[in-house]
Structures are given as C-alpha cells and as structure tokens.
Amino acid sequence: MKYTITGLVALIAIAVILFGFKETAKDVVTNKRNIIGVFEPVAVIELFTSQGCSSCPSADKLLSKTIHNSIGKKIFALSYHVDYWNRLGWADPFSNAAFSKRQNDYVASLNINGAYTPQIVVNGSREFVGSDKNALSSSLGNALAEKTETSFSGLEVLQEKQNLVRVKYKLEGNYSGTTINFALVSLSETTQIKRGENEGLTLTNENIVRQLVTQKPNEKGEVTFAISPVPAVGNAAIIIFIQRQNGLKIIGAAMAKI
C-alpha cells in the first residue's frame, strides 16, 4: 500500500509539472505584448533639413542614397523640412512649423544644446549631423541589431477618393505608454531654388513628410488623410511608426506605398 501511495504522488507531481508547462507556454502566446524584444529590428531615420540651408543638400543626398541602398530592409527614412530658415530669403515649400516643433522635442529628450540642420535622429534615441555617413552607418547597424517590442501584423492603405487616403493597421506586442505616428510622404520632389543660400541649385528631396498624424495606439485602428496638396500618382507612401512617450524611442515601424 505504501508503494501504491508513493506512485500515486509521483503521478500527481508529473501531472502538475506538465500542466504548469502547458499554462506557461500558453502565457507566452497570450501575453506576448508583455515580452520585450521579440520582433524583427527596424531603423527609422528622421532627417531635419531645409532647402534654405546651405549645409543641407549633402545630407539630403546621403538620405536618398540610404533609401535606395535599403530596398528590402526594414529601414524607414523621413525628411522633415523645418521652417526656421525661411527667413534667409527662400520659403521652403515643404516646411512646416510642426516639424520644427518635433525637432525641438528631440532637443529636449536627447538633452542637446539646440536645434540645427541638417540633423538626423535614428530610432528616436541617437542624433548627429545629417551628412555624417559614418555616424549613420553605425547607428543603423546598432538599430538593426536590437529586436523591437512591436510589429504591424497588417497595414492597408486605401485611396478612396482623389484627395482622401485611409490607413488601417493591426498591431501586436508591447505598445503600452506609446504613441503611433502616421507620416504621409512624397517619395521624390525636385525644386529649383531661386533665392537664399542655395540660390541657383536644383534640389531633389526624397521621402518628404507632408503630413504627420499622431494618436494613441490600439490593437487595430485607422486614420484618414485629406491630402492637400495631392502628391502625383505613384509618388506617395505612408510610413507608420510606434514611439515611446517617455524617451521617444521608436520600437516598431512599417511602410506602404499609395
């Protein structure tokens, strides 16, 4: 009888262990949003530039080269044209005070002396002069070596009318304490500069942010852009990225062309 009870206790112990393992495995799946660093790495490049800045064309060219060399990689480039150089004689047609404010948010978050152009910020956590090829290469390498906390399991862009675009997304992972950003970009624009520091130059800028919408993330959601002005057919895209509210680190991104 003693042997039988001992055997029964052993069987119960094995059952408890197996049940516990099953529940643990279940928790890994159902509580995936609580796991840090489980998704494929991404790198989001944010260039703050201006057509009125004589130092910016070299950074614009570096960004363009990076875009073309990053096809097939999870590298997402955004070109924000700030407005504070418009006083130098050329009003950048793509400039926006909201983009200058975004840059100043990074100035505060990264604890640097002040805003300047050209400036690049990678994944919201490292900044440097926008024409610094080595710094960009190093930053991209570091970003693509670190798995992210979120991932877009679905991203759909619908152009319902000529001047109306609707973006639908599905999100998974740990997105608590974050914001989700939707950037409507022109893939390429060429401008003849008639005044200012770059007078006489013809500049080509890529992935120019035309509108930026920020909202709280959900497991699934959508945002609608009324496009004005309307980028040419085949010359627009949506870049969507998740950013922590504290520290502004970017932890997930995706892109879809329109």
Banded pLDDT at 36 (limits 50, 70, 90) = low
Banded pLDDT at 17 (limits 50, 70, 90) = very low
Residue 240 tokens read as 């969507």
The pTM score is: 0.85
Quick one: average pLDDT of 175-198?
96
Q: Could you list the beta-strand ranges (E) of the chain.
A: 43-49, 75-81, 119-122, 126-129, 150-161, 164-173, 178-192, 202-215, 220-226, 236-244, 250-257
Phi and psi for 102 in degrees, rounded to 5? -60, -40
Quote the percentage of the chain above a pLDDT of 90. Answer: 74
Quick one: average pLDDT of 118-132?
98
Which of the pair, 30 or 137, is modelled with greater confidence? 137
Q: Answer yes or no: is pLDDT of 217 > 80.
A: yes
Q: Which amino acid is at 179?
A: T
Phi and psi for 18 in degrees, rounded to 5? -65, -40
> Number of C-alpha atoms within 13 angstroms, CB side, residue 14?
6
Which of the pair, 71 or 132, is modelled with greater confidence? 132
Which of the pair, 2 or 170, is modelled with greater confidence? 170
Predicted local confidence at residue 57, as pLDDT: 98
Quick one: average pLDDT of 7-14?
42
Banded pLDDT at 163 (limits 50, 70, 90) = confident
Mean pLDDT of the chain, nearest integer: 87
Q: What is the DSSP string of 23-56?
A: HHHHHHHHTGGG-SS-B---EEEEEEE-TT-TTH
Quick one: average pLDDT of 64-93?
96
Quick one: average pLDDT of 43-70?
98
Quick one: average pLDDT of 129-136?
98
Predicted local confidence at residue 5, as pLDDT: 43
Which of the pair, 194 or 157, is modelled with greater confidence? 194
Quote the percentage of the chain above a pLDDT of 70. Answer: 84
Banded pLDDT at 227 (limits 50, 70, 90) = confident
Q: Answer yes or no: is pLDDT of 25 > 70.
A: no
Which of the pair, 64 or 164, is modelled with greater confidence? 64
Quick one: average pLDDT of 81-106?
97
Torsion, Cα 185 187 189 195, to 10 degrees, reads 50
